[in-house]
Structures are given as structure tokens and as C-alpha cells.
Structure 1
Amino acid sequence: MTAAAEPLVKKYSENGITTLTLNQPERRNSLSMAMLEALSAELDLVADDSETRVVVLAASGQVFCAGHDLREVREQFDSHEFQLALFNQCSKVMQQIVNLPRPVIARVAGVATAAGCQLVASCDLAVSADTARFATPGVNIGLFCSTPMVALSRNVSRKHAMEMLLTGELIGALKAEKIGLVNRVVDEQVLDETVYTMARTIAGKSGYTLKVGKEAFYKQLEMPLADAYEFTSKVMAENMQANDAQEGICAFLEKRKPEWKDS
């Protein structure tokens, strides 16, 4: 009997933290159409899972994600329809991460290039091993990283984004931290400890509050200053009516631990 094939995306949940692991190391965890569809399906499940409070996005093997599967792309050179479907599917996944009502932390070990770098930039937070490297190298092969540019340019300054996009050069983890692509850089030996300590800290908050805050964060980013303040004032006033906000304020004043109801 043939052993069952390993899933393209492995899922493990414990204590409110769900880890989704890209699981095709022999293909450098590339974002083939199949990988994108598998990741999209898992993100849909997590979005509806009330037990999940935080998501960790990880990868098997020595490469976090090498971007799109160039072998697959080459096989479909003559199909504009496939190319458009591939990039649309990738864009859908990146937006699923941003729109997910749970914070997403990228756990980055190894190389994250092109759409793999886009994946890191799309996550809410990113913790990197000090040996990790990042690049948007499409320009080196005649295919500008236009979709990765969307996430990259919303995380780092214009000049840093343009330098990565125009040179295609790899940057180290410390520079990625300096320009805002990742939050923290740590020794690979303590990468998991750092990631899951952060995840547990966030998982201890009100799930309702995290959902409200994440959604408002991304919405206000695209607004003019006055509109952003008007919008977030309404969000806070509405948030104040929630059970968890009132419980949290009372718990703080009464010097006790809050009991969240996620509502």
C-alpha cells in the first residue's frame, strides 16, 4: 500500500495558536497553484475557527519560500489565462492574510524571495532567524516583482522597496529588521521560543479586540489623516460597548486578571 502523500500545508493547533507550515521543501516551498490553493483553504478554515486566536506561518526545510514555482510557470508560458489565474490566486492569499480576523506571525528561517518575501510582508508580524535572507529578484530574470511590490511597499520605505525591487539583491536579516520588513531577528536556536512566546502573549488578549484592532489598522492606513481619526474614533466608541472592553477596564481598575468572553 502506498503511503499517503504529505499535505502541502500542515496544520497544528494548540492553546489558541494555529501553525500553518508550508510543506514542500524539495520544491523550496514554492507558491505553485496547488500550494496557493492549499494555503487559501487553510486560511478559510482558520478564519472560521473560534478556537484560534493567533496564526503562525512557518515552513519546512532550509528555505522559507522561494516564490512562484518557475518550472510550473515555464510549462504554462503560452497560457496567459493560467498566468493571470496564478497571480490572482497569489494576490487572494495575501489579502486573506491581511483580512484574517486573527493576527498572523511569520516564522522565517532560510531564504524568502519574490512571492516568498511578499508572504512575509503580508503577515502582521515577522520573526526571523539571523541567518535568513530576503529578496525580490524578479528583475534578474526579466519578470519584475510587481505583485510582491504591493506588500513590500506597504511595509518599508519607498527607497528601500525600490532598492530591493531594482537590484534584486539579497539582504540579510538585520537589514530586513532595520527597514521594517521583520520585527525581530534572533539566533535560529531560539527562533521557535521567540515566535511562540510572542504568539502566547497575543493569544492571551481578547479575540474580539484583536479582530477589531487588526481590521481598523489596515483600513485607516489608506485614509487621509482626518478621515482616519474620524473612523477610529467611531471604532473605539463601538469597541467600548463590547463586553471585553468593559471587563478589561473593570479588571484593570480592580487589579485582577480579566475574563474574556470574546464579545
Structure 2
Amino acid sequence: MTEPPSTLLPEERKRAILEQLSTEGRVSAADLCRNLRVSEDTIRRDLRDLDEAGLLRRVHGGALPRAQTTLAYAARTQVQQPAKQALAKVAADMVRPGQVLFIDGGTTTLEIARSLPRELRATVVTVSPPVALALIEHTGIEVHLLGGRIHREAMTTVGAETVEAVRQVRADLCLLGVCSLHGEAGITTPHAEEVAIKRAMIQGSAETLAVATADKLGTVSSFVVAPTERLATLVTEATVPEAVLAPFHKLKLRVVTA
């Protein structure tokens, strides 16, 4: 027996889609057609409208949560400071004396640099001028700030010169800045020019550690850096629900909370 067509209004359908996306972390177009009793064309239009409104990210066969709109760097340094500082302390405690470190750009990685012990002896290679400045008083840390053009939104150096400089380094540990991290979609960023640099850092490191606040998990940005499996460790907030962490546990990541 054929089910009657849906009586939901377009806005009610879209609200239902967003509620399912919030609960499950993804939506399937086929499931939406069946559950909402509408055609594939209708669901495609709904997903397109929601994507254009910045409320989700359309992917083949459905949609994933979209990363939050990126604020200016100075504004980001003031957001979620207690959480970032707690995560940074955990990550900084994982650094060992004598290591060569890549420290990526980002406000959370900046907090990691600030949290490194004053007595630490190590080498830091970074594309972040704020990170380099934060380490000026750490006399036991040799700091290499890689050259290139400044990307004002990310506050990092970018370009072919930067990528080539990263490729000349073999690091023990990469402390990676994360804009979005999803179990299936991988590590993604809103800035295309950062992709090659982040990839080169991951490829040139014996181990990569990502530090991400809860709002970065399960979300997707426009440009793919690498599969999530390239990470060895994820440091995130203790308040993150187990359902959100489950995809990362499934990938055998070491998940540490703070």
C-alpha cells in the first residue's frame, strides 16, 4: 500500500532535516525521502537551500554538519579561552625534551605554545607568527618561523615557498590546528591555501596530534586536508558526548579529554 504524501510545509521539512542532522551527525537523502515521504527532487532542493543558507554541507548522497563561520583571528583568540587552555595544557604535557615539533597555526595551537614548560629544550618549526612570538621567552626552544605570504584570516604563512620549507623538515610531532574534523570526511579547512601546508606537516611528522574544541568535531569545511586516520591522537573536551567520539574510537585514534 502506497503511503500518502507528506503534509509537512517546506520549513517544517527543513527543520526536521536539521534536527536529524544535529542528533545523528549526518543525513542520507534516501532516508529523508522515505521518512518525510517526499520525492528525491524535493529533498535535493531542501538540502541545496539549507547548504546555501550555511546550515549544512551537502555531500554525495546526503549532508553533513557545516563548520561554524570563521571569525577574524583576533576575535577567535577571545573565544572559548578556558577550554582551549585546558586542552593546550594536556597537549603540551605530551611534548618530550629534545623533540622537533611542527606547530601549526590557530588559536588553540597558540595556547599550546604558551603552555610549553619554560625549561623545555626542543626545536619548534612553525608557520604561525603568533606562535613564534609566544615562544620568544622560551630560551631553551629553538624557533624556526617559515617564510611566505601572510594569510590574514589564518594568521599563517602560505604559498609554494612555505610548502617547500615544510618538506625539508622531519619532525617528531606535529601539533595540528583543526578547523573541522569528521570521521568520514576527514580533516578539512575553510582556507584552500592551507591544505598543502597542513598535508606536508602531517607527511613530514612521525606522529600527528590534533587539538579540537567540541564545536570542531563532526563538522566539515570546504577543503580536504587528509583522512582522519592520519592522526595518532585527538585531544578534546571531556564534555563531548560519546556518540560524537564513537567514529574516532572506531578509527583507533587515541582520544584524550580535558
Q: Which has the higher strand share?
A: 2
State the TM-score, normalized to the length of structure 1. 0.30
State the TM-score, normalized to the length of structure 2. 0.31
